[in-house]
Amino acid sequence: MRELLNIALPKGRLGEKVYARFAEAGYPCPLVLENSRKLIFENEEAGVRYFWVKPSDVAIYVERGAADIGVAGKDILLEYAPAVYELADLDVGKCRMAVAAKKGWRDDTERTLRVATKFPNIARSYYAGKSREIELIHLNGSIELAPILGMSDVIVDIVETGTTLKENDLEPIEDIVPISARLIANRVSYQFAQAQLDALRDALVRG
């Protein structure tokens, strides 16, 4: 029996879209979409084993070799700089990393800027590039609350439709970087199975 290719998919709506791409590209495993609490699925015929992973953890599985390949957002790759190869931009899960503030907020460049974010490295490097001194407030979610409660001046966060900002009386004020889902590979797996992984990448990108 040949070895199965281990694939880490980001759990959730994006993951289902991404799985559909893999299935169309010739790597189906219909059990993946069954509504169960199971996290791991195999299709020996297609040579694949899929696991559902928390989106922000995909790069860890791939970096450590538990998965040969996976799909992770560019936000996670920029924030954690995992030692993996980025094989392709899958052109799904598109959004942007942006700075947002309360409507009508005016910056006072004389003062240290208080920045709340789930992405401290991205925020730090963005403001370092502008030579702006900041105080970083590292939160794990509901970032939008920080400027509303006066805990921060701005947030650095993902904006997709803009609805979350709007519903909390915030507005985007600067774009930092466009984000989309990327196909990533474990470095050792890629060395051993380059032809196989390149073929998979090409089939996914064509799709």
Build a one-symbol-per-residue string for 135-154: x at contacts with ligand PRP by CB under 6 A, - elsewhere.
------x-x-----------
Cβ proximity to ligand PRP: between 76 and 197 the closer is 76
For residue 20, give the amino acid letter: A
Build a one-symbol-per-residue string for 36-75: x at contacts with ligand PRP by CB under 6 A, - elsewhere.
----------------------------------------
Q: Taking Cα atoms as reference points, which of 61, 30, 67 lies closest to residue 45?
A: 30
Cβ proximity to ligand PRP: between 73 and 82 the closer is 73
> Is the CB of residue 35 less than 8 Å from the CB of residue 50?
no
- Which of 26, 28, 162, 172 is close enough to bind ligand PRP by CB under 6 A? 162
- Which of 157, 168, 181, 189 is close enough to bind ligand PRP by CB under 6 A? 157
Collapsing DSSP to helix, strand or coil, 66 comes out as coil
Cβ proximity to ligand PRP: between 79 and 157 the closer is 157
DSSP tag of 189: H
Q: Is 120 in the site for ligand PRP (CB under 6 A)?
A: no
Q: Is 13 in the site for ligand PRP (CB under 6 A)?
A: no
Q: Is 159 in the site for ligand PRP (CB under 6 A)?
A: yes
Query: How many CB atoms lie under 10 A from the CB of residue 68?
Result: 26
Shortest distance (Å) from residue 153 CB to ligand PRP: 18
Q: Taking Cα atoms as reference points, which of 82, 89, 32 lies closest to residue 61?
A: 82
Q: Taking Cα atoms as reference points, which of 183, 170, 176 lies closest to residue 88?
A: 183
Q: Residues with Cβ < 8 Å from 110, sequence gap 6 or more?
A: none
Cβ proximity to ligand PRP: between 59 and 200 the closer is 59
> Which stretch, 3-11, 158-166, 179-187, 197-205, contacts ligand PRP (CB under 6 A)?
158-166
Q: Is 163 in the site for ligand PRP (CB under 6 A)?
A: yes
Enumerate the H helices of the chain as residue ranges. 13-24, 58-63, 74-80, 120-129, 145-148, 163-167, 187-192, 194-206
On the 0-12 / 13-18 / 19+ scale of CB atoms within 10 A, 128 is exposed
Q: Is 35 in the site for ligand PRP (CB under 6 A)?
A: no
Cβ proximity to ligand PRP: between 9 and 197 the closer is 9
* Interacting residue ranges for ligand PRP, rule: CB under 6 A: 141, 143, 157-164
